[in-house]
Amino acid sequence: MSEFYEIRIYRVFDFEKQNQLEAWMKNALMPALGRLGIKNVGVFQNQGDPNDHSEFMVIPFQSLEQFSEMNIKLAADEIFAEASKEWFGQDMKDPVYTRIDSWLTEAFDSIPKMEMPVDVAAPDRIYELRLYESHNMDSARRKVAMFDDGETQLMRDVKLGPVFFGRTLAGPDCPNLIYLLGAENEAAHKEHWKAFLAAPKWAAIKDLPEYANTVSKIQNWYLKPTDFSQL
Mean pLDDT of the chain: 97
Residue 113 to residue 204: CA distance in whole angstroms: 27
Question: Are residues 193 and 134 in contact, defined by beta-carbon separation less than 8 angstroms?
Answer: no
Q: Check residue 50 and give its pLDDT.
A: 86
What span, in angstroms and rounded, lies between the C-alpha atoms of 170 and 201? 32
Half-sphere CA count of 127, side-chain side, radius 13 A: 28
pLDDT digits (tens, 9 = 90+) for 5-43: 999 999 999 999 999 999 999 999 999 999 999 999 999
Q: Specify the pLDDT at position 129.
A: 98
Helices (H), the chain: 15-24, 30-35, 64-75, 78-83, 85-88, 137-146, 152-157, 186-198, 200-205
> Is residue 1 over pLDDT 90?
no
Per CATH, domain 4-225 is 3.30.70.100: yes
- pLDDT one-digit tens code per residue, 184-196: 999 999 999 999 9
In the chain, domain spans: 4-225
Q: Taking Cα atoms as reference points, which of 111, 124, 231 lies closest to residue 179?
A: 111
* CA–CA dist 143, 170 (Å, integer): 17
Please give the distance of CA 167 from its chain centroid, rounded to a whole number: 12
pTM summary value: 0.96
DSSP 198: H
pLDDT digits (tens, 9 = 90+) for 61-109: 999 999 999 999 999 999 999 999 999 999 999 999 999 999 999 999 9
Strand 4-10 vs strand 100-107: parallel, antiparallel, or unpaired?
antiparallel
